[in-house]
Homo-oligomer: A and B are copies of this chain.
């Protein structure tokens, strides 16, 4: 998948900084992990990890952080942060995707939509009335852009992304397949034992440089907009409820759920499967571990965790029974509401 370009270590150091140890004329034509690198590949050592793989690697050269300066005798680039350096170098080896601007003949574009001639609209897309598609936008096959929505300059929507009406997406967004932006929030009121739908009249407003993972869903607001600020990164299968506000440069890992009207600060991180309940506020710089459920607002920028530790099933069965009774005084031992018998799964 790598292009034919070849770089000398000295070329890279000139471009991205760092100090070359060993032959600065060493040429690399690709980038690979330590384990799978072959002749002519550049690799990298993440801080303090994978030293064993480093010894066995067949890479031509490696990127190392300062503290690993002497961890290998291979030609190497020594830098502040080997992982960030790798990120930059990898961009050089990314296959170039040349996208011709224009509208594929099978796309259905409303005559009342506003599509920049420098945008590329793929096969089978549907762009509705008053939608605005800026210069350099790429819509993969089968994307749907609702009435009055706008997609900012240079944004790339992979196939089958769906944006409802009245939403705006900033510049340089990357949105992966199956993402749904602007579906109705889950709002309803009970009326005589039946649910009455509350019209969801707000939209979704997404800043610049946001990435949204595959099959992630972001609901429109009930009255105000749901807001995702600039630089936010959302992994796959995340659910963002209506009226949520996510501060700039926060990153949410896969399967996270944010319930309606929650406010996440700037620069927060949420581990995979974490849940934030509705109407809560998280301060800037809060870090939530995977699978943790946030049930109260958080004001201090620290790390928070809360998941049940796994163990052998036989031990868990015993411990879970003890936990159920933790707060019980003897006279509380009334029959349970649930069926007798061991917990199933």
Contacts and interface: CB of A to CB of B under 8 A. Distances in A.
B310 A306 contact: yes
A297 B236 contact: no
A207 to B, nearest CB: 12
Interface string A203-235: 100000101011101010011100000010101
Contact of A299 (B198, B299, B337): B337
A29 interface: no
B277 A345 contact: yes
A185 B196 CA distance: 31
A267 to B, nearest CB: 7
B277 A201 contact: no
> Mostly helix, strand, loop or mixed at chain A's interface?
loop
A327 B338 contact: no
B180 A31 contact: no
Contact of A160 (B87, B162, B290, B328): B162
A343 B213 contact: no
B1 A166 contact: yes
Contacts of A133: none
How many identical subunits does the complex contain? 3
Interface in A139-161: 140-142, 144, 158-160
A345 B290 contact: yes
Interface string A112-142: 0000000000111010000000000000111
> What band does the interface of chain A fall in when counting residues whose beta carbon is under 8 Å from B?
35 or more
Contacts of A86: 189, 198
Contact of A186 (B159, B188, B233, B327): B233
Nearest to A317: B305
A345 B289 contact: yes
A55 interface: no
Nearest to A250: B195
A146 B314 CA distance: 45
Contacts of A88: 196
18 contacts: A33-B222, A87-B188, A88-B196, A140-B144, A178-B180, A178-B217, A186-B254, A188-B233, A197-B211, A219-B236, A235-B239, A272-B275, A295-B344, A296-B338, A302-B312, A306-B309, A315-B324, A323-B323
Interface of A: 1-2, 31-33, 35-36, 81, 83-84, 86-88, 90-91, 93-95, 104, 106, 108, 122-124, 126, 140-142, 144, 158-160, 162, 164, 166, 174, 176-178, 180, 183-184, 186-191, 193-199, 201, 203, 209, 211, 213-215, 217, 219, 222-224, 231, 233, 235-237, 239, 241, 249, 251, 253-255, 257, 259, 267, 271-273, 275, 277-280, 288-300, 302-324, 326-328, 336-339, 341, 343-345
